[in-house]
Amino acid sequence: MTTTVLEQCPIGPAVTCHLAAYNAAFYELGLSWHWDDETFHNLQSLPCEREWIKAYMKTHQSHLLSAYDPDFLIDAIQTTKARCFETMTDGGVRKAAQVNWAAFREAEVGV
């Protein structure tokens, strides 16, 4: 049996941890994206994380596809998400703080 990336989280619940890491990465990269539970759940029907990001870009952020190479953006998001996940879980030693990344976006001027 293969273990997916969502089952490897050392703290529970795994899906919440990965979702928080994605939203932290989006915020850090200056993307005005926020995945809620429903969006994240729907994206998981696709075969891999690269496909999740690509599908989201095509359906919700298509304007970025004319300005940036999709693979460049996907690589940047995945690299940042992996670092955020590692920082948040601290190798599984402690639980990540709960942050509402959508609230950060709402507080920004012009958003």
Does residue 30 register a pLDDT over 60?
yes
Distance CA 65, CA 86 (A): 28
pTM: 0.72
Q: Residues 75, 24: contact at Cβ < 8 Å? A: no
Does residue 6 register a pLDDT over 50?
no
pLDDT tens digits for range 62-98? 888 888 899 999 999 999 999 998 888 776 544 555 5
Q: At what angle do helices 70-89 and 49-60 cross, to 10 degrees?
A: 120
